[in-house]
């Protein structure tokens, strides 16, 4: 079974191919702005180097955020378009959970994943490492005001936007980014489907059009 993971919720994008749950290849790039040609070219190179075709892919796994609005929308559009001809399955998983999974592999037991939601708030979710490499949500995603953030002692805090949050989390360290390979692994482990839509932390804002 070939799984393609796509992760574009942060400024580091990545794509990965897994065969029966084992990583075949992965490519990543850094881009402050989402560029469609970057992901398409990287994806084609990845598939070609793995000596596969789009028809070999059985499952498309998408990182649904929280994170970049444009990046998440693009990931869904690409995966659903590529899956359509062969009617391959598409699954979505939390990009933050993928980041927590990487931290869990390194030995962290209690993990908080945070990001700057702007408007004086952060988005934050808490995870707990289980035996045999599993992961569970201990507290679901929520928005918290900067001055109301509280993290239990002993919790490892990680973020793709660490440089923006050092005043709130002085020990945050360098930015860490979710990877497409971990998105794909979580999709394969998934027992309860997540919605096939980006995870938006702020409600949509409607701006009334101005007429001349």
- 8 A C-beta contact, residue 76 and residue 183: no
User: By percentage, how much of the chain surpasses pLDDT 70?
Assistant: 93
Q: What is the pLDDT of residue 131?
A: 83
Confidence of residue 209 (pLDDT cuts 50, 70, 90): low
Between strands 89-93 and 12-19, the pairing is unpaired
User: Is pLDDT larger for residue 153 or for residue 207?
Assistant: 153
Global confidence as pTM: 0.92
Q: pLDDT of 102-147, one tens digit each?
A: 999 999 999 999 999 988 999 999 999 998 778 999 999 999 999 9
User: Is pLDDT larger for residue 115 or for residue 31?
Assistant: 115
Whether the per-residue pLDDT at 204 is higher than 60: the answer is: no
Whether the per-residue pLDDT at 42 is higher than 90: the answer is: yes
Q: What is the pLDDT of residue 206?
A: 45
Packing angle between helix 180-189 and helix 95-105, nearest 10 degrees?
A: 100
- 8 A C-beta contact, residue 187 and residue 128: no
Instruction: Indicate the DSSP class of residue 209.
Output: P
Q: What is the pLDDT of residue 134?
A: 83
b/e burial code for range 29-62 (CB count within 10 A of at least 16 → b): eeeeebeeeebeebbeebbeeeebebebbebbbb
Q: What is the pLDDT of residue 132?
A: 76
CB atoms within 10 A of CB 110: 19
Instruction: Compute the average pLDDT of residues 94-101.
Output: 98
Instruction: Compute the average pLDDT of residues 155-184.
Output: 96
Instruction: Compute the average pLDDT of residues 57-65.
Output: 98
CATH number of 2-95+177-189: 3.30.420.40
Is 96-164 CATH 1.10.260.40?
no
Domain boundaries, the chain: 2-95+177-189, 96-164
């Amino acid at each position: 079974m070939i799984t393609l993971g796509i992760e574009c919720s942060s400024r580091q994008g990545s794509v990965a191919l897994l065969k029966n749950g084992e990583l075949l290849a992965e490519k990543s790039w850094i881009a402050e702005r989402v560029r469609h040609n970057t992901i398409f070219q990287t994806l084609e190179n990845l598939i070609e180097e793995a000596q596969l075709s789009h028809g070999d892919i059985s499952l498309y796994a998408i990182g649904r955020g929280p994170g970049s609005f444009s990046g998440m929308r693009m990931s869904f559009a690409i995966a659903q378009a590529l899956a359509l001809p062969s009617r391959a399955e598409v699954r979505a998983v939390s990009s933050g959970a993928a980041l927590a999974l990487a931290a869990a592999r390194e030995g962290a037991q209690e993990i908080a994943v945070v990001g700057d939601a702007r408007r004086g708030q952060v988005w934050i979710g808490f995870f707990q490492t289980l035996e045999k490499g599993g992961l569970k949500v201990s507290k679901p995603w929520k928005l918290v005001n900067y001055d109301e953030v509280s993290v239990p002692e002993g919790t490892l805090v990680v973020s793709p936007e660490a440089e923006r949050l050092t005043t709130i989390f002085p020990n945050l360290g360098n930015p860490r980014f979710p990877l497409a390979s971990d998105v794909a692994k979580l999709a394969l482990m998934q027992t309860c489907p997540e919605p096939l839509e980006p995870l938006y932390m702020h409600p949509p804002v409607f701006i009334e059009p101005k007429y001349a």
